[in-house]
Structure 1
Amino acid sequence: MSSSGSSPRKFPHTEGNLNSDLISFLMELAEYENIVGRNVFKSNAYKTAASVLASHPKRIASGEEAAKLKGIGKKIALKIDEFLATGKLEKLEKIRGDETSTALKELARVSGVGPTKARQLYDEGITTIEQLRGNPEKLTHHQRIGLKYLEEFEQSIPRAEIEALEGALRRSLSALPEPITLTICGSYRRGKETSGDIDVLLCVKSSLDGNATSTEDPKTAKEKHGKKFEDKNLLSRIVNLLEQDKIVTDTLSLGDTKFMGVCRLSDDTPHRRLDIRLLSPDQFHCGVLYFTGSGLFNKEMRSVALSAGFTLNEYSIRPVGSTGVAGEPLPVTCERDIFDYIGMDYKEPHERNM
């Protein structure tokens, strides 16, 4: 699936899946609703249904069977029935024949071009990638880079390439005076053979072992660990180092804690989208859990957390009191701590492909 401002790369992989044809039409509907219809609710409903079918071990034989799966409603079940009966979907046939829909979808292939920008370009008479290349002044820096590497970003990244890149990143980071821990999240961490982009989480390693918090006063430990994270130039130094080592080729954006850019393993491999997040020690494990996904697994886990009296996000897990107000973040030394707090059996990353 092509890359775009709507991130369809995040859709489930269909290769070899027993329900690949059903997943594909749901993905296409999700993309349409996001880019053309600009209905995030409908788009997310189709994405959820696609994710559910992607993890279902059997071939779906009817809409009724699909509707029994959590995350698939009656309306989507009816579309599945129509597709199984006819081999097509009337709504999709109309969408594919609509020039406006086709143009907006084409423009949104470019990383950084979302639904609003695609519509703006279309209203200005730009309907194809070729026309867009002839009008670079209409694009932001991010969008120009997305256009430059359009075809490369659309290629799936083999697992072996990410493994090699992980090794290169670790070698580069070893040159820093700070000991840095690195985790590549997303579908790669969940064991998938291909990925759409590369999500890297970093943290100062010495403050992650959990030993300090067991012997120090919590307030003292929090203050000390917080100071380790006050180096506003750390991520900038990391990116500079990766540029010198010819791993990072382009920067889309760079802040104190988040980098969005482009990387390349070697001259023989395509350019890839790379996101790096620098997290504080008390946020790292919640961040790893969240950015590992899948999205559907995260949704289920947040629901379990709420039922158990906690609120969970990518930054922290906090108890919710009788008044409904969340308390202070709880100490987390590993992902298992989060599962234990909410009374949920631990799932290995490869078991989170929902």
Structure 2
Amino acid sequence: MSKRKAPKSEKNEDIVEALIELAEYEKNVERNRFKEKAYRKAATIIAGLDKRIKSGDDAKALPGVGDKIAKKIDEILETGKLRKLENIRADDKSTAINLLTRVSGIGPAKAKELVDAGIINLDDLEKHKDKLNHAQLIGLKHFHDFEVKIPREEVKELFESVKKVADSIDEEYMMEVCGSFRRGAKFSGDVDILLCHSEFKHSDKHHGDLLHRLIKKLTEKELVTDKISEGDTKFMGVAKLPKHKHFRRLDVRLLPVDEYYCGLLYFTGSNIFNTEMRAHAHQKRFILNEHSLRPLECGKPGAPLPVSSEQDIFEYLDYPYKKPEDRD
């Protein structure tokens, strides 16, 4: 997945970008996941507004916006900037950690380790490749390409190319692009494909070579250029279309056919929508996750319910159906 996905808002873009930057700081430097989640939730809610926020009090009427975030919004509205962010940007260590975590495969702990060793920029990383693992080396190799957002049409083209290869192997493959793309985003940070096969069910002990044979063929066709990791059910790597100049992050996840639609719902997102739907399921005495929908029986999850579409899940839960583009 892309490491930095900021929601967009034409009306409140300055506020949204500031909150996302604060979230990145809390995640990468302070390692405070609670504050990170709070900033991201507020940013997502504000990004969905179709009108300009006029004050912090105005923002506090929104879910996920408390006093502290409201005060920061007031400061942005009144001064056009945020003192806390200026202090963060002026701190060399914080800036270096935030930069290094943008390299795919480098998390906050590794970034701090590198900065503590005196490695503060990409040039330093190039000189100390011995400190990086395989995934991080690929992230460094393609850093500039991974920073470039993928236009929707290019995601479609890459997906269609992958699907064409899959169909040539076995027409029983089924797949779809998930994430923000499926929710209608104009640009994506990476391409996440959910894959299944009609003969692969949860009860099967072996996955066969369903994923491996697809990746093998994609590599032979030179669509896949680098492998970060490859297991029986998940591939992480790099892809490139012949007529395009940028290399792109590609993830392919294999699910059993009887888990496919719960997985499709979950991996489409958004995170806020998933949280709300799982909470609703619990109120209705169900357990919903990326694998299954189960009724709660005497406080314990029962057998998975048969699910043959996303709509089935909404109907079981008596939850109004929302199209993917309405799940932000």
CA contact (8 A) 1:253 1:261 kept: yes
Measured in 2, the distance between the counterparts of 1:283 and 1:64 equals: 44
> Are positions 1:342 and 2:317 aligned together?
yes
Instruction: Name the amino acid aligned to 2:211.
Output: L
**Percent of counterpart pairs with the same letter?**
48
Q: Does the residue aligned with 1:283 lie in a helix, a strand or coil?
A: helix
Instruction: Name the amino acid aligned to 2:276.
Output: E
> Are positions 1:280 and 2:256 aligned together?
yes
Moved over 6 A (4+): none
> Are positions 1:333 and 2:301 aligned together?
no
Aligned with 1:88 (options 45, 66, 81): 81
1:285-326 Cα offsets, whole Å, 9 max, x none, are: 01100111111111111111111111111111111234x222
Measured in 1, the distance between the counterparts of 2:314 and 2:308 equals: 12
> Are positions 1:268 and 2:244 aligned together?
yes
Measured in 1, the distance between the counterparts of 2:202 and 2:68 equals: 49
| Alignment root-mean-square deviation, CA | 1.6
**What is aligned with 1:48?**
41
Instruction: Name the amino acid aligned to 1:347.
Output: K
**What is aligned with 1:217?**
none
Q: Does the residue aligned with 2:251 lie in a helix, a strand or coil?
A: strand
> Are positions 1:191 and 2:166 aligned together?
no
Q: 1:19-98 residue pairs with structure 2 within 5 A?
A: 19-98=12-91
Measured in 2, the distance between the counterparts of 1:316 and 1:227 equals: 13
Q: 1:26-175 residue pairs with structure 2 within 5 A?
A: 26-175=19-168
> Are positions 1:237 and 2:227 aligned together?
no
Instruction: Name the amino acid aligned to 2:320.
Output: D
> Structure 1: where are the runs of 5+ without partners?
208-223
CA contact (8 A) 2:175 2:196 kept: yes
> Are positions 1:12 and 2:7 aligned together?
yes
Measured in 1, the distance between the counterparts of 2:131 and 2:306 equals: 47
Measured in 1, the distance between the counterparts of 2:103 and 2:192 equals: 19
Task: State the TM-score, normalizing by the size of structure 2.
Answer: 0.96
Measured in 1, the distance between the counterparts of 2:304 and 2:203 equals: 18
> Are positions 1:249 and 2:225 aligned together?
yes
CA contact (8 A) 2:262 2:290 kept: yes
**C-alpha spacing 1:94/1:147, structure 2 compared with 1 (3 Å):** same
CA contact (8 A) 1:339 1:346 kept: yes
Q: Does the residue aligned with 2:105 lie in a helix, a strand or coil?
A: coil
CA contact (8 A) 2:100 2:121 kept: yes
Measured in 2, the distance between the counterparts of 1:133 and 1:233 equals: 36
Task: State the TM-score, normalizing by the size of structure 1.
Answer: 0.89
Measured in 2, the distance between the counterparts of 1:61 and 1:22 equals: 11
Q: How many residues align?
A: 328
> Are positions 1:317 and 2:293 aligned together?
yes
Deviation of 1:268 (Å):
2.7
CA contact (8 A) 1:263 1:271 kept: yes
Deviation of 1:229 (Å):
7.3
**What is aligned with 1:296?**
272
Q: Does the residue aligned with 2:237 lie in a helix, a strand or coil?
A: strand
Q: Does the residue aligned with 1:320 lie in a helix, a strand or coil?
A: strand
Deviation of 1:90 (Å):
1.4
**What is aligned with 1:181?**
174
**What is aligned with 1:259?**
235
Deviation of 1:226 (Å):
4.3
CA contact (8 A) 2:6 2:17 kept: no
Q: Does the residue aligned with 1:282 lie in a helix, a strand or coil?
A: helix
CA contact (8 A) 2:293 2:305 kept: yes
Q: Judge which range, 149-158 or 327-336, deviates more.
A: 327-336
> Structure 2: where are the runs of 5+ without partners?
none
Instruction: Name the amino acid aligned to 1:112.
Output: G
CA contact (8 A) 1:112 1:142 kept: yes
Instruction: Name the amino acid aligned to 1:252.
Output: I
**C-alpha spacing 1:229/1:279, structure 2 compared with 1 (3 Å):** farther
Measured in 1, the distance between the counterparts of 2:71 and 2:316 equals: 39
Q: Judge which range, 75-84 or 252-261, deviates more.
A: 75-84
CA contact (8 A) 1:320 1:327 kept: yes
CA contact (8 A) 1:229 1:280 kept: no
CA contact (8 A) 1:183 1:202 kept: yes
